[in-house]
Structure 1
Amino acid sequence: MALLTVRNLAVGYDTRPVLDQIHFTVEPGNYLCIVGENGSGKTTLMKTILGLLPPLAGEVLFEDGLSAREIGYLPQQTVVQKDFPASVKEVVLSGFQGKCGLRPFYLPEEKAFALTAMEKMGVLPLADRCFRQLSGGQRQRVLLARAFCAAQTLLLLDEPVSGLDPQATADMYRQIAELNQKDGAAVMMITHDMSAAVTCASHILHLGNRPWFGTVQEYKNSRIGRNYLAIKGGVLS
């Protein structure tokens, strides 16, 4: 059964659609990369899936027991995030806030899981450091640990390596792959890095005038995929 099914979806602001006729599914264990030119609606789509924007038409359906509030989300880096005045441990633990309800404290099992998530991301030694003092790569690993605390079933990542140096980028891709392959988390990732998309992902959603969805191999064999990869320098083999 699909974790997420999107049918005939139109997204946009007010009554102005940015995208329409979007169809795709995310199955357990999938790694879906969302690609397309700037302004094609990638972030708007992700915000609609998260319930931050209402759909203009169509459906966003979750598997029984999964809701938009139970999805781990790593947004694009912002100045506010970079200046967040809290310790690494506090930032990671805040991933559980959606599950706390009116409870004003974290449970022992949540604190233990946060430590595990920090260890997975290689930021446990930074637990007591102030978030704003970290490098860009360290901040993104902390926020990925936070997203994993929020949900272990489905992670939505909006350009998680934007602005990172090559080593930090490689580390981030490796950790996302481990969450997908070892921990079983399905991943939806917005990216402009086509080489990474066709190397890491199982499926591609290409947004544009005619949205396209399929496996990576199908994308490489399609006209839209071959043309876009030729422009962006992706891997065709």
Structure 2
Amino acid sequence: MMKKLQITHLSKRCYRELSGGQQQRVLLARALCATRKILLLDEPVSGLDPQMTEEMYRLIEKINREDKITVIMISHDIRGTMEYASHILQIGQEVIFESKENYLRAHTKRRTLENTGGEK
């Protein structure tokens, strides 16, 4: 997994001495060693700079696509979620679960109605 995530050069380094992005990759490699089907990630890009955030999302997408591992990700990063997710589960006053396309369509319609004072 270290080779797959391009972190073999970190094998002799102390975890605490790694950057946030390197730590996230190490944790992801560790999680991948324990699964073959599903990966549950809780805020995997939290605290990362924009470049590392983008790299982490691409890496997670690659794992999902190439290794056929289902990824369930908890995130407050709406922009990243909308770019990479195939489905959205929103939990709040109401629970919504639908494809990204349907979610975006409904969300756009709701915003339009709210901005024009119309009803849902």
Cross-structure match for 1:198: 82
SS of 1:187's partner is strand
Structure 1 residues 1-237: aligned runs within 5 Å? 117-223=1-107, 227=111
What is the CA-CA distance between 1:172 and the residue it aligns to? 0.7
Contact 1:155 1:187 in 2 (8 A): yes
Amino acid aligned to 1:200: Y
CA distances 1:77-110 after superposition (whole Å, capped 9, x unpaired)? xxxxxxxxxxxxxxxxxxxxxxxxxxxxxxxxxx
What is the CA-CA distance between 1:226 and the residue it aligns to? 5.1
More helix by share: 2
Report the RMSD for the aligned CA atoms in angstroms.
1.5
Amino acid aligned to 2:89: L
| TM-score between the two structures when normalised by the length of structure 1 | 0.45
What is the CA-CA distance between 1:164 and the residue it aligns to? 0.5
Q: 1:224 to 1:154 in 2, by over 3 A?
A: farther
Partners of 1:164 and 1:151 lie apart in 2 by: 24
How many residues of Structure 1 are paired with residues of Structure 2 in the alignment?
111
Q: Which has the higher contact order (CA 8 A, sep 6+)?
A: 1
Partners of 1:170 and 1:191 lie apart in 2 by: 14
- Structure 2 residue runs of 5 or longer lacking an equivalent are 112-120
Q: Hey, which bits of structure 1, 4+ residues long, moved more than 3 A?
A: 223-227
What is the CA-CA distance between 1:152 and the residue it aligns to? 2.1
Partners of 1:120 and 1:170 lie apart in 2 by: 17
What is the CA-CA distance between 1:223 and the residue it aligns to? 4.1
- Structure 1 residue runs of 5 or longer lacking an equivalent are 1-116, 228-237
